[in-house]
Amino acid sequence: MKKIQASFIIIIALLIALIDLQTKFHFIKEPKLWGVFVPVVIPNPGPENIFSGAFQKTFEKWLADNAGLRSFFIKSRNQLYVWFYREISLNFHERVILGRENYLYQYPYVFSHNRLDIIPEKVIEEKVKKIKALQEFMKKKNRALIFCITPSKATIYPEYIPDRYVNKERLKIKSNYDVLIPLLEKHGVVYADGRRLFLNLKSEKWPLFPKSGAHWNYYSAFMFLSKINEKLKTLSNKSLNLSDLKLKGVRVADKPEIFVGLSTEDDDLAHVINVYDPSFSYGNYAYPDIPRPTTVKKNRPRILIVGGSFNRQLIDLMFRYGLYDQMDLFYYYSKIQTLPASFIDDSKPIDKSKLDWEKDIFSKDIIFIETNEEAISKMGRGFIEDAYKNAMR
């Protein structure tokens, strides 16, 4: 019996020692943990930091983030969750829902689908009026402003969301989208409606969203871009000199591929749930077969894109077609980036107090404001109001 007791103590002691050694020397290759987290910087262990407890607190946080074998333990736990409970742990900053047929949903889209983000109609109408005024303002300048609503996976594919995540009572309530569309019509705003387009495309055989990703795929993003191009042609007093978009066909792959030379987002949710093998959530991935333009048009328009993560695929496609001469991105109206560059990685914060609205914004041939259905309650993130204020001066 003593041997068993001693063995048990030694095994646990060895496991602890292994974790300690791995923390220091990293001699075992650990699987990568996906996701964005802010690295902890340990403060100087001076008397002030020690007596205030700041050093200890930060050191413990650093240790938690850098402990040996961490990725094995985290991935093991997440994998067990998927195997045993058939769900993703609730204890995630970015909650992910494992749906029917292994469809993954990012929680904010389901949250919005359940009408938990409702804002008053008059707030939406105020924004709509400002968009209309901005559209007129740009038109007078022989330029264009287009407002786009990108679709949510939860509203396009609600049938894969398990019942326990759907509040059926609340589905009877009008969503922000349901309120917004009639208001856009009422005030004569020219807009592109991704949800309507996608619901029409849904009956076709190509998937519009990857099972393993939060955003649309390149095929459906292409279809939306074509729609925008059509709308843009009606918006400005002069020709915007936009290239025509042509689709040769659609290619379907059974795993995510790198498209137009940039890393794929088609499996972003599969990665962020940090399991050993995310392929259980893979399905069909649709990629547009599009001819690369042989020549680049002269006097292409310059565009400012204001929006969020759905623009990644759009920007990739805009590049592919060489649609624009210069592209600036106001990412969530918080970071600015002049493209081409690797999406948001090279961006810098927007200093709103130093923006020259005439030179930096209203001089663009096209202003493209994008909001996802899920983010209608936050649409523009302050850009619409600031632009309106500066335009009406």
Q: Which is nearer to another protein, 301 or 380 (CB)?
A: 380
Residue 165 engages another protein in binding (rule: CB under 8 A): yes
Q: Which is nearer to another protein, 20 or 356 (CB)?
A: 20
| Minimum distance of another protein from residue 335's CB (angstroms) | 7
287-316: which residues touch another protein (CB under 8 A)? 309
67-96: which residues touch another protein (CB under 8 A)? 67, 70, 73-74, 76-78, 80-81, 85-87, 89-94
Q: Of 142, 234, 243, 150, nearest to 192 (Cα)? A: 150
Token digits for 178? 């349901």
28 near 20, Cβ under 8 Å? no
Residue 30 engages another protein in binding (rule: CB under 8 A): no
Interface residue with another protein among 26, 31, 48, 50 (CB under 8 A) is 50
Interface residue with another protein among 26, 28, 32, 35 (CB under 8 A) is 35
Q: How far apart are CA 42 and CA 33, in angstroms?
A: 21
Q: Which is nearer to another protein, 321 or 332 (CB)?
A: 332
The CA-based angle 77-79-82, given to 5 degrees, is 115
Q: Which is nearer to another protein, 72 or 243 (CB)?
A: 72
Decide the pairing of beta strands 96-98 and 104-106: antiparallel
Q: Of 215, 211, 201, nearest to 285 (Cα)? A: 211
Q: How far apart are CA 314 and CA 324, in angstroms?
A: 12
334-363: which residues touch another protein (CB under 8 A)? 334-335, 344
| Minimum distance of another protein from residue 104's CB (angstroms) | 11
Binding mask 116-155 for another protein (x = CB under 8 A): x---------------------------------------
Q: Which is nearer to another protein, 12 or 341 (CB)?
A: 12
Residue 7 engages another protein in binding (rule: CB under 8 A): yes
Q: How far apart are CA 62 and CA 203, in angstroms?
A: 50
Q: What is the dihedral of CA 81, 86, 87, 88, to 10 degrees?
A: 40
Residue 59 engages another protein in binding (rule: CB under 8 A): yes
Q: Which is nearer to another protein, 74 or 235 (CB)?
A: 74
Q: Which is nearer to another protein, 130 or 312 (CB)?
A: 312
Q: 234-265 burial, b if ≥16 CB within 10 A, otherwise e?
A: ebbeeebebbebeeeebeeeeebeebeeeebb
226-245: which residues touch another protein (CB under 8 A)? none
Q: Which residues pair with 307 in a beta bridge?
A: 331
Interface residue with another protein among 58, 102, 167, 326 (CB under 8 A) is 167
Q: Determine the size of the site formed for another protein (CB under 8 A).
A: 71
Residue 171 engages another protein in binding (rule: CB under 8 A): no
- Number of alpha carbons in the 13 Å side-chain half-sphere of residue 220: 31
| Minimum distance of another protein from residue 117's CB (angstroms) | 11
Q: Of 57, 19, 20, 25, nearest to 40 (Cα)? A: 57
Rounded to an integer, what is the distance from CA 372 to the centroid of its chain?
A: 9
Q: Which is nearer to another protein, 77 or 186 (CB)?
A: 77
